[in-house]
A = this chain, B = another copy of it.
Amino acid sequence: MQAKAHKVDSPPAERWVAFAEAELRAAGHRSSAPRAAVVDLIGRQDCVLTAHEIAEELRRRGHGVGIATVYRTLELLERGKLVQRLDVGGASARYEPAFPGGEHHHHHLVCERCGRVTPFEDDDLERAIAELADRLSYRVGEHDVVLKGSCPRCSRVAG
């Protein structure tokens, strides 16, 4: 339960991609190669991505997609709760696949030195948040806790 506790079991990419495409279709959207490429990339990445990173990676793979299309697709996915948007404090927002019913729900640690984003799950934290929400008479929705700190590697190197 030490250094590898941060490794959340990798989400079933294929399942999410199929699900997301079906949802978009069901919502009355047409299918298209650029959009499919974006959805596919998001589903297969294990780390959170920025819009720029998505566009860049697709270009590298030869399927150049306009940055506007990337943003429009992300907005669509976010509205359908198919992706989770993260604000980890950098200039740009990051996105990751979201599963229905809160499956694979997790949070993130951000290393302030190297910028690495590490997912984690924790039942105690979840419970604390739930009790908290009751007490505050606040309805907490799809919360995402972003903790900032220094990852093991960076802590070792520089205090």
User: Which A residues are within 8 Å of any B CB, using their own CB?
Assistant: 1-3, 5-6, 85, 87-89, 109, 111-112, 118, 120, 122, 124-125, 127-129, 131-133, 135-152, 155
CB < 8 Å: which of B5, B85, B137 contacts A152? B137
Q: Number of copies of this chain in the oligomer?
A: 2
Residue from A2, A85, A87 having most chain B Cβ neighbours under 10 A: A87
Known: A136-B120, A155-B139. A146 touches B146 (CB 8 A): yes
Closest CB in chain B relative to A122 CB, distance in Å: 5
- Once the chains are docked, how many angstroms separate the CA of A135 from the CA of B6? 9
Q: What 4 A-B pairs have minimum CB-CB distances, sorted nearest first?
A: A140-B149, A124-B128, A87-B87, A139-B150
Let me know if B122 and A138 touch, CB within 8 A.
no
Known: A87-B89, A148-B144, A149-B143. A118 touches B138 (CB 8 A): yes
A-B contact pairs, 21 of them (CB 8 A): A2-B137, A5-B136, A87-B88, A87-B89, A109-B138, A112-B141, A118-B136, A120-B132, A120-B136, A124-B128, A125-B132, A129-B147, A133-B147, A137-B152, A138-B149, A138-B151, A138-B152, A138-B155, A139-B150, A139-B151, A140-B149
Please give, as numbers and ranges, the residues of chain B lying within 8 Å of A150 by CB-CB distance: 138-139, 141
CB < 8 Å: which of B111, B122, B136, B151 contacts A109? B136
- Once the chains are docked, how many angstroms separate the CA of A128 from the CA of B147? 12
